[in-house]
Amino acid sequence: MTAIQHKIVSDLWEGRGRTLIVVLAVAVGIAGFTAVLSAYSILTRELNNGYLSTNPPSATFYTNRVDDGIIDAVVASGSVASAEARRVVRARIKTGPMEWRPLSLFVIKDFTNIRVHKIQPEQGAWPPQSREMLIERNALQVAHAKIGETATIKIAGQQEQNLRIAGSAHDLGLAQARMENIVYGYVMLDTLGRLGQEPYFDELSVVVKGNRFDEKHIRAVAAQVKALLEARGYPVRRVDLPPPGKHPHADIMGLLLLSMSAFGFAILLLSGIVVINLVTALMAAQVRQIGMMRAIGATRWQVAAIYFGEVSLLGVDAVLIALPGGIAGGRALCRYLAVLLNFDMTSFVLPTWVYLLVLAAGIMVPLAAAALPIIKGTSITVWQAMADYGVGGESFGTSRLEQVLVALGGTFRPLLMVVRNTLRRRRRFVLTVVTLAASGVVFISALNIRASLIRTLDRSFATKQYDLWVTFNGLYPIDELQRATRGIHGIIRTEGWIVTEASFAAQGEESESPSLSGHAPSEGRSDGLFTVIALPPRTNLLRMEILAGRALQADDTNAIIVNSSLAARRPTLMIGDTINLRIGPAVLPWRVVGIAREPFSTPTAYVSQRRSEDLGRRDGMANSLRIALDRPDAATLKAAKIALDRNFEHDQLPAVGSSTKAETRYGFDQHMLMIYVFLLITSALISVVGGLGLMTSTMLNVMERRREIGILRAIGATPLMISLTVIAESVVTGLVSWGAAALVAWPVSKAVGNWLVSAMFQTSLDFHFEPIGLGVWLAVSAAIAIVASVLPAVRASRVTVREALART
């Protein structure tokens, strides 16, 4: 080992206590960064690989009936690699006495040869036999069912039927059943017939030949297939073009992980602050050594290289310590998100670039943080260095702030000393405060964002004046629907609504010519499907919050109100514009009269039922009944649902599903919880970094003031008094950081909340400041300050007068 290498190691070893703390602080930052970065790299790979292994459809065509002949013809056309018929039947599954949940029943032709949108056997029998059903593995819990049990199924307009649950399947292409509160079932065609349905398929899913990720190519093939279907007498009422090769939730997951990565990198940057404090103190303590090295022939850069070497070693140590924890954290995050997204992890192997990036960040961030103190420290002349009095030679009272503090005075000198000492190393103090305040800001932001999300949802749900809704398999006279609700305890108001789907029609597009539709907007063709709701002229069950324009009026005919989600899809949309919408086979013009605020809502438009004839409906008909209760508690809701179910059954009004506001709200709350937990974890990690930073800072203060501690001991201060002085100094720093956090928490949490929510849900928040966050963080920051100062305080109390004074 050369003398220089020996110096690098011995410098770090000499102050090993504080070196270890700084390494730990940097390691926490690197671990957080590694966790999110590794989760990002693994999940994006695994999710897309897993999704692609299901051979997801490039396009799905909805027609009247699909038979083997047309499938063969489509495949024979040469542009399609595989095609398969399927059907999805909406039904209900009994989950308890008189309790039903929505069931999406996928009808599959041949379970042993699924070519498109593959599902995998999970447990139990495979394939299901006649009168048997498989249930998606995550939906078993929603269905309150176990494999081997018999489930009661009801398709609208049919008698209840019993199906044996033969096993479970894994369907990666679907959203998590538990989050959606829906049951996914899989049956063969014969079973459909036994459920009273005519056994046929009405969907054709195809995977294109050639580049299956090229959206343009897919659109071209889809147009060809549509033409072929129509030419052969299979009218196409809708075409879905999902984003090619991408899991439906890949984008939102990527966005979430990228947001997490940004926070992870921020934690790493904050840990750099701890390095700045350490290196600044080290350079100050080594001024004479620097002067000596310069005097015996070292260039400035040779001296600087020694200290950069020390920081690099520190960074490498931090990376080595952080990697196992970071990787474990990344795996935990992967498992958590895999459960949410309903897919299985097949490999946790990290790509090499992750290791390289973590190593680079782990070394570069401390180096960048240390650059200024090292450059400044080594720029000193030999004369200045040799004349330096060391780290304790600073002069207090030269700045305005210090003069003000002195002028303020006080009656208890130890406390005066604490306050003034806190501000002696102002840069160190400010940097420490910044790190601690950052954790406070994220913590307070987490609480504020949670409160804001709750408030936003409360406000949004408050516009819906109904508590329960029932959907029917077609249009039924509103009078009949309402008659069935009479006499049911708790129901105070009902309205019949028409809920349907629409898409923006391209310019010049005419009726009877269905357009392509898909999730991804495409220039000049379609903007995807959205919901259109036809409301009674004077609805009492929806109090829209109009952002611009006006509400619907009783005499409106072609007026339409778009909600904020739909308006965001068409940013150029203005009040007064006329838009052409395709609703079913019809393309009709509508005049936009208002924009309604509906955060977290799907794109929706509202029209008056006065024009329902234009939608191909007859007056006084509805396919959805909205019901308001006088007391929407769980017991009343349950009783009302049971009674409604019985009455609709009796009146032969085939309900296909029902839901409550509480159930919908639960789904939203689950998504919001994810953001809240993520922010709390980030805050905890920054708190650890901040706490370690405060500990380093306090240790450096104690180290630099050993002589003063010795004097205090000499004039009568007991070890306990010395300890309390150190702890009090740390607490003052903690309190100042709390104040700084409190000052900026409002604007920062508003900005962070809006950024996260707009990135994930394309909406804004009703900001609410949660005052309790300030109180909680005050206690937390005081606790962090006390914990962080215990070790330095104990060390300070052990400083002997003789040792301290010998260091002049």
Q: How far apart are CA 267 and CA 30, in angstroms?
A: 8
SS3 756: helix
Q: Minimum distance from CB of 302 to other proteins (Å)?
A: 28
Does position 716 interact with other proteins (CB under 8 A)? The reply is yes
The H or E element containing residue 122 is strand 120-124
Give, as one character, the DSSP assignment of residue 380: S
Does position 2 interact with other proteins (CB under 8 A)? The reply is no
Does position 412 interact with other proteins (CB under 8 A)? The reply is yes
Does position 424 interact with other proteins (CB under 8 A)? The reply is yes
Contact (Cβ atoms closer than 8 angstroms) between residue 425 and residue 433: no
Q: Which of 352, 398, 507, 572 binds other proteins (CB under 8 A)?
A: 398
- # binding residues, other proteins (CB under 8 A): 34
Q: Which of 430, 721, 735, 760 binds other proteins (CB under 8 A)?
A: 721
Q: How far apart are CA 317 and CA 114, in angstroms?
A: 52
Site string for other proteins, 316-355 (x = CB under 8 A): ----------------------------------------
Does position 665 interact with other proteins (CB under 8 A)? The reply is no
Q: How far from the centroid of its chain's Cα atoms is residue 750's Cα?
A: 16
Q: Which of 7, 450, 626, 713 binds other proteins (CB under 8 A)?
A: 713
What tokens were used for 527?
Answer: 């903007």
In the bound state with other proteins, the residue whose beta carbon lies nearer, of 4 and 417, is 417
Q: Minimum distance from CB of 716 to other proteins (Å)?
A: 2
Does position 486 interact with other proteins (CB under 8 A)? The reply is no
Site string for other proteins, 748-787 (x = CB under 8 A): ----------------------------------------
Q: Which of 295, 372, 720, 751 binds other proteins (CB under 8 A)?
A: 720
Select from 275, 400, 277, 285 the least CA-distant residue to 705: 285
Q: How far apart are CA 445 and CA 669, in angstroms?
A: 18
Q: Which of 477, 708, 739, 769 binds other proteins (CB under 8 A)?
A: 708
What tokens were used for 94?
Answer: 């009994």
From residue 462, give the alpha-carbon distance in Å to each of 466, 510, 534, 541: 9, 39, 20, 10
Question: Which amino acid, residue 324?
Answer: P
Strand pairing category for 80-96 and 238-241: unpaired
Question: Which amino acid, residue 127?
Answer: P
In the bound state with other proteins, the residue whose beta carbon lies nearer, of 360 and 720, is 720
Q: Minimum distance from CB of 384 to other proteins (Å)?
A: 19
Q: Which of 356, 406, 408, 751 binds other proteins (CB under 8 A)?
A: 406
Q: Which of 395, 524, 571, 635 binds other proteins (CB under 8 A)?
A: 395
Does position 302 interact with other proteins (CB under 8 A)? The reply is no
In the bound state with other proteins, the residue whose beta carbon lies nearer, of 159 and 808, is 808
Q: Segment contacting other proteins (CB under 8 A): 90-98, 565-573, 585-593, 705-713?
A: 705-713
SS3 of 705-751: the string is CHHHHHHHHHCCCCHHHHHHHHHHHHHHHHHHHHHHHHHHHHHHHHH
Question: In 249-351, which ranges are continuous DSSP H helix?
Answer: 250-285, 287-295, 300-341
Q: How far apart are CA 3 and CA 309, in angstroms?
A: 13
Q: What residues are paired with 183 via a beta bridge? A: 103
In the bound state with other proteins, the residue whose beta carbon lies nearer, of 414 and 654, is 414
Does position 571 interact with other proteins (CB under 8 A)? The reply is no
Q: Which of 336, 353, 383, 396 binds other proteins (CB under 8 A)?
A: 396
Does position 390 interact with other proteins (CB under 8 A)? The reply is no
Task: Return phi, psi of residue 487, to 5°.
Answer: 85, -5
Q: How far apart are CA 235 and CA 248, in angstroms?
A: 27
What count of other Cβ atoms lies within 10 Å of the Cβ of residue 392?
15
Does position 1 interact with other proteins (CB under 8 A)? The reply is no
Question: In 342-495, which ranges are continuous DSSP H helix?
Answer: 352-378, 382-387, 400-408, 413-422, 426-462, 478-483
Q: Minimum distance from CB of 283 to other proteins (Å)?
A: 21
Non-local (6+) Cβ contacts of 353 within 8 A are: 41
| End-to-end CA, the chain | 32
Does position 717 interact with other proteins (CB under 8 A)? The reply is yes
Q: How far apart are CA 449 and CA 752, in angstroms?
A: 8
Q: Minimum distance from CB of 397 to other proteins (Å)?
A: 4
Q: How far apart are CA 311 and CA 317, in angstroms?
A: 10
In the bound state with other proteins, the residue whose beta carbon lies nearer, of 413 and 650, is 413
In the bound state with other proteins, the residue whose beta carbon lies nearer, of 403 and 540, is 403
Q: Segment contacting other proteins (CB under 8 A): 207-215, 388-396, 458-466, 580-588?
A: 388-396
Does position 13 interact with other proteins (CB under 8 A)? The reply is no
Q: Minimum distance from CB of 412 to other proteins (Å)?
A: 6
Q: Minimum distance from CB of 276 to other proteins (Å)?
A: 23
Q: Which of 75, 417, 546, 748 binds other proteins (CB under 8 A)?
A: 417
What tokens were used for 34?
Answer: 């590694």
- Name the residues that contact other proteins, by CB under 8 A: 394-398, 406, 409, 411-414, 416-417, 420-421, 424, 707-708, 711-721, 800-802, 805, 808
